[in-house]
Amino acid sequence: MTKDDKIVIGISIDLMTVNEGDVIRLKDGRDGVVTENMHDGQWLEMDFDGEIDLIHGQDMTGFVKRVAD
């Protein structure tokens, strides 16, 4: 690595603040609804049109829609 090289992990949201029902966009362009937050700061269970998947924070770009706290 040179002095200009950077490691970008890409976590752009605080996963500890995510609520069930929030909609989050992934780097691949998909939007998913949060079905469970493990509150470990790394993983969310999300629903993509009926398919449930475990998603790591590095794969998320940000919120599309937030539910009320």
3-24 pLDDT tens trace: 666 555 555 789 999 999 999 9
Q: Give the CATH number for residue 23.
A: 2.30.30
User: Is residue 8 one of the residues assigned to a domain?
Assistant: no
- The confidence score (pLDDT) of residue 13 equals 85
Q: How far is 26 from 56, CA to CA, in rounded Å?
A: 10
Question: How many structural domains comprise the chain?
Answer: 1
Domain encompassing residue 36: 15-65
**Which pLDDT does position 12 carry in this prediction?**
72
The tokens of 5 are what? 């090289």
Which pLDDT score is estimated for 8?
A: 53
Rounded distance between C-alpha atoms, residue 55 and residue 27, angstroms: 11
**Helix-, strand-, coil-residue percentages of the chain, each rounded to 5:** 10, 40, 50
Q: Is residue 2 part of a domain?
A: no
The model's pTM is 0.81
The predicted-structure confidence for 23-61, as pLDDT tens digits, reads as follows 999 999 999 999 999 999 999 999 999 999 999 999 999
Question: Could you tell me if residue 25 is inside a domain?
Answer: yes
Closest CA to 59 of 27, 37, 22, 29: 27
